[in-house]
A = this chain, B = another copy of it.
Amino acid sequence: MAQLFEFEKPIAELEHRISELQKFSADKGIDLSQEVDTLEKKVLLLKKEIYGNLEPWQKVQIARHSERPNFYDYAPLLFEDFIELKGDRLFADDHSIAGGIALFHGVPVTVVAQVKGKDTKENIKRNFGMPHPEGYRKAIRLMDQAEKFGRPILTFIDTPGAACDLGAEERGQGEAIARCLLAMSGYHVPVISTVIGEGGSGGALALGVCNVLLMLENSFYSVIAPESCASILWKDTTKAKEAAAALKFTAKDLLRLGVADELVREPQGGAHNNLHQTADELSEVISKYLVRLRSESPEVLRETRYQKLRKIGMFRESAEINLTKKLD
């Protein structure tokens, strides 16, 4: 069974009581169906109540769930075929970014995705989903080919952030991410990005310059990890919950801020509770947008992507400072 979060325990307790009642009823031959029925209704209500009102921090926990489906889980369900292509042709093949050519609803597309591991061994191989410069350079190489051959690009974002070690610095982590941003902004093919789990700052953004940004319901996409934010703001990493609320990084927030285009529904409790259902939902939404984008001309695709970026941000055009609050 999947790992339980604190906020899920009331549900689990009720469900446990139901199964005890059922067992008791079976053992003793006593009819408790009415009690069970009542409790089951209560569970449904409770689930709706809890899962329908998840706080940002709870979504962070779901997005980081050890059993949260990763790209390799979705790939066989989303694509009729997927050929993984490797390497940046410069230095190494980075296992925290996977990419290649896939067949999506019969259409060849280029796919690039960040991939976290599911266990310690895999996480070491994939550097916990934190790409090095070679990962981003592989992404550029593959996406450049999509541009060359007129293939739509689908990216999948799922990373705590870019690798932050000496090697990453030596090989130009900043340069690699910046080149990704520049490259993606210039393509004449449709680009659809989906945050499937964690969208951690610049390392995530590197795959997020798109015509359409989708977010799974319990994913988040943030300029900084809530723990780091709490540490800077309140010198207290345990206040990550408060930081999570302040950062406005849930799918709903990003829709409201004009950054995300659509929220993709997850099964109650999160994608890990029903991979197939999530994949179906995701497939349908991506397909819907891909149909639309494929009807646009290359120049329009490029220019609308640029205009989408251009509009992100809020400011006012007046050199006035706010009077409602004042420094002493």
Contacts and interface: CB of A to CB of B under 8 A. Distances in A.
Contacts of A171: 90-91
Contact of A89 (B89, B91, B170, B175): B175
A10 interface: no
Contacts of A89: 172, 175
Contacts of A133: 90
A269 to B, nearest CB: 44
Nearest to A171: B91
Interface in A152-177: 170-172, 175
Nearest to A170: B91
A46 to B, nearest CB: 54
A176 to B, nearest CB: 8
A89 B89 CA distance: 14
A229 B317 CA distance: 73
A89 B179 CA distance: 11
Contacts of A90: 90-91, 133, 137, 171-172, 175
Contacts of A175: 89-90
Interface in A68-123: 89-91
A197 B182 CA distance: 40
A252 to B, nearest CB: 39
A91 to B, nearest CB: 6
9 contacts: A89-B175, A90-B90, A90-B133, A90-B171, A90-B172, A91-B91, A91-B170, A91-B171, A91-B172
**10 cross-chain pairs, A with B, having the tightest CB-CB distances, nearest first:** A89-B175, A90-B90, A91-B171, A89-B172, A90-B172, A91-B91, A90-B171, A90-B91, A90-B137, A90-B133
Given A90-B133, A90-B175, A91-B172, 10 more contacts: A89-B172, A89-B175, A90-B90, A90-B91, A90-B137, A90-B171, A90-B172, A91-B91, A91-B170, A91-B171
